[in-house]
Amino acid sequence: MTKPKPIRVLVVAGARPNFVKIAPLMDRLSSLTSGEAETLLLHTGQHYDEALSQLFFDQLGIPRPQINLEVGSGPHGKQTAEIMARFEPVVLDWKPDVVVVVGDVNSTLACALVAVKLCVPVAHVEAGLRSFDRTMPEEINRLLTDAISDFLFASEPSGVENLRREGVAEEKIHLVGNVMIDSLQKFLRVARQTSVLRDLGLLPYGQPSATEGKPRPYAVLTMHRPSNVDEKEKLASLLEVLGEVGQQIPILFPAHPRTQERLERFGLQSKVRTRWTEADCGVLVTGPIGYLEFLHLMSEATFVLTDSGGIQEETTVLGVPCLTLRENTERPITVEEGTNTVVGTDPVCILTAARAILAGKGKKGRTPTLWDGRAAERIVAILMDRLMSAA
Ligand code: UD1
């Protein structure tokens, strides 16, 4: 009898949130023997800045990608097309048994589309999430990726319901938990050792070490969605109300390069600060920070304001109240069970919600089922089981 060939798994990552999701998958895949599986890690190069990419690989211990497509930034059509054009020869050459894509960024859709057209099964990690807002580029990426995937790994029950409603066959859907939380569970302890609180002036002066002592109260802000930062009036009005919140509690704002660029282009730098002293308040903007530093910062925050998806999930697990600066969420479990409140972008709603938290009325919440640090383990077990029996 001939020995079965190892299963070839091609894992795709392209943008910052992808790296946090592939880390536990790569970890798990690396525990398989070379007779069982061969893994190829491919970076599309959608995010290329040191702070958005290499730093995450280093901190999360992700192996160096064997291939980097180096597509860089560009308009959606061009970026997606570039990724497709450069990814196709890789698939033709390496002949994977499955292509694994994560999340909802342009790299996710582009690589899924190439694979399915070459008749290679696609596994989508974080399938089924829906904001029901088709003006969000990520919603289009989610809908289309799910429509062409063979393995749909959902992180929460709403994902399963959405896929069923869209007519996805039951045997393709697997509720496995949340890979982003696998990373959080693994790295939280080491994240708490970073010097970020001291570096950002949040520890009272004169304390002996970065890991000792309680920081002064602060909030954390992230904002990079086109709907919040691409129009001057919208961004200005958000910064106005955030500045008001910042009078009551200092706000740390590690800004995405896209947001930093908009702040400059719209001449809005006066609405934020770039440094402060102990007594200062307001919104302090910094460049993007590492995964560990950000986790540390979130874990000690009084609350978090964000338009990101993943941060709604991370704050739920950390038990830190989260105010989502969007009109909807594709992650309803963070509202139903977790610490998330979708406040939208109306200044009065933001102020009211922030004041409620400062008055001690922040949501407590609980960690959703299966967000237990073992999602990657379940995903790899299902993939290996199905692909080996199909071989
Ligand atoms: C992408 C994802 C978004 C995700 C976010 C996380 C899509 C459609 N969007 O948005 O879902 O929440 O990543 O960060 O895929 N830039 C740099 N350096 C980089 C990368 C980007 O300066 O390494 C700047 C460029 O000016 C670029 C802009 O950021 O044009 C936007 O980058 P892009 O990858 O198109 O989308 P993000 O806004 O990062």
Looking at the structure, tell me whether residues 164 and 286 fall in a common domain.
no
Please tell me whether the overall predicted TM-score, pTM, comes out greater than 0.85 for this model: yes
Ligand 1 neighbour 147 (Cβ under 6 A):
no
Looking at the structure, tell me whether residues 353 and 378 fall in a common domain.
no
Work out the mean pLDDT of the chain and round it to a whole number: 95
Q: What confidence tens digit (pLDDT) does each residue in 46-83 have?
A: 999 999 999 999 999 999 999 999 999 999 999 999 99
Looking at the structure, tell me whether residues 148 and 257 fall in a common domain.
no
Indicate if the pLDDT at residue 165 is higher than 60: yes
Mean pLDDT of 225-241: 97
- Distance in angstroms (rounded) separating the CA atoms of residues 200 and 202: 6
The protein residue whose alpha carbon is closest to atom 4 in ligand 1 is 105
Looking at the structure, tell me whether residues 34 and 174 fall in a common domain.
yes
Mean pLDDT of 332-360: 98
Indicate if the pLDDT at residue 368 is higher than 80: yes
Give the helix/strand (H/E) hosting 116: helix 106-117
- Find the 302 Cα to ligand 1 centroid distance in Å: 28
Ligand 1 neighbour 137 (Cβ under 6 A):
yes
What pLDDT does 391 receive?
Answer: 78
- Find the 258 Cα to ligand 1 centroid distance in Å: 7
What pLDDT does 390 receive?
Answer: 85
Ligand 1 neighbour 106 (Cβ under 6 A):
yes
Looking at the structure, tell me whether residues 237 and 168 fall in a common domain.
no
| Beta strand 37-43 pairing with 7-13 | parallel
Q: Is residue 330 part of a domain?
A: yes
Atom of ligand 1 nearest to the CA of 224: 38
- Find the 179 Cα to ligand 1 centroid distance in Å: 21
Indicate if the pLDDT at residue 205 is higher than 90: no
Q: Is residue 209 part of a domain?
A: yes
Q: 4: pLDDT confidence band, cut at 50, 70 and 90?
A: confident
Looking at the structure, tell me whether residues 319 and 377 fall in a common domain.
no
- Find the 315 Cα to ligand 1 centroid distance in Å: 22
Indicate if the pLDDT at residue 208 is higher than 80: no
Range of the domain at 271: 186-358
Residue 286: burial class (beta carbons within 10 Å; 0-12, 13-18, 19+):
middle
Mean pLDDT of 92-116: 98
Looking at the structure, tell me whether residues 204 and 335 fall in a common domain.
yes
Ligand 1 neighbour 103 (Cβ under 6 A):
no
What pLDDT does 243 receive?
Answer: 95
Looking at the structure, tell me whether residues 208 and 152 fall in a common domain.
no
Atom of ligand 1 nearest to the CA of 48: 23
| CATH code of the domain covering residue 301 | 3.40.50.2000
DSSP one-letter code for 99: E
Atom of ligand 1 nearest to the CA of 226: 38
Mean pLDDT of 122-135: 98
Looking at the structure, tell me whether residues 192 and 78 fall in a common domain.
no
Mean pLDDT of 322-341: 98
Ligand 1 neighbour 260 (Cβ under 6 A):
no
What pLDDT does 206 receive?
Answer: 56
Looking at the structure, tell me whether residues 169 and 233 fall in a common domain.
no
3-state secondary structure 276-305: CCCCCCCEEEECCCCHHHHHHHHHCCCEEE
Ligand 1 neighbour 258 (Cβ under 6 A):
yes
Ligand 1 neighbour 16 (Cβ under 6 A):
yes
What pLDDT does 382 receive?
Answer: 98
Indicate if the pLDDT at residue 183 is higher than 70: yes
What pLDDT does 44 receive?
Answer: 98
- Between 146 and 211, the more confident residue is 146
Q: Is residue 366 part of a domain?
A: no
Looking at the structure, tell me whether residues 197 and 150 fall in a common domain.
no
Indicate if the pLDDT at residue 214 is higher than 60: yes
- Window from 1-5, 11-15, 123-127, 156-160 with minimum mean pLDDT: 1-5
The protein residue whose alpha carbon is closest to atom 26 in ligand 1 is 258
47 is catalytic: no
Q: Is residue 363 part of a domain?
A: no
Ligand 1 neighbour 230 (Cβ under 6 A):
no
Q: Is residue 2 part of a domain?
A: no
Q: Is residue 273 part of a domain?
A: yes
What pLDDT does 352 receive?
Answer: 98
Q: Is residue 300 part of a domain?
A: yes
Count of domains forming the chain: 2
- Distance in angstroms (rounded) separating the CA atoms of residues 313 and 217: 22
Atom of ligand 1 nearest to the CA of 104: 11
What pLDDT does 1 receive?
Answer: 61
Q: 275: pLDDT confidence band, cut at 50, 70 and 90?
A: confident
What pLDDT does 359 receive?
Answer: 97
Ligand 1 neighbour 324 (Cβ under 6 A):
no
Say which residue the tokens 């407590």 belong to: 364
Atom of ligand 1 nearest to the CA of 46: 34
- Find the 134 Cα to ligand 1 centroid distance in Å: 18
Q: Is residue 364 part of a domain?
A: no
Strand partners, 98: 9
DSSP string covering 161-208:
HHHHHTT--GGGEEE---HHHHHHHHHHHHHTTSSHHHHTT-SPTT-S
| Beta strand 251-254 pairing with 322-324 | unpaired
Give Cβ neighbours of residue 86 (< 8 Å, ≥ 6 apart): 44, 69, 71
Strand partners, 152: 124, 173
- The number of CA neighbours under 13 Å toward the Cβ of 53 is 18
Residue 90: burial class (beta carbons within 10 Å; 0-12, 13-18, 19+):
buried
- Find the 330 Cα to ligand 1 centroid distance in Å: 19
- Find the 119 Cα to ligand 1 centroid distance in Å: 29
Query: Which residue is catalytic, options 43, 47, 224, 296?
Result: 224
What pLDDT does 53 receive?
Answer: 97
What pLDDT does 309 receive?
Answer: 97
Pocket test residue of 111, 136, 258 for ligand 1, highest count of atoms within 8 A of CB = 258
Atom of ligand 1 nearest to the CA of 17: 6
Looking at the structure, tell me whether residues 273 and 126 fall in a common domain.
no
Give the helix/strand (H/E) hosting 19: helix 16-30
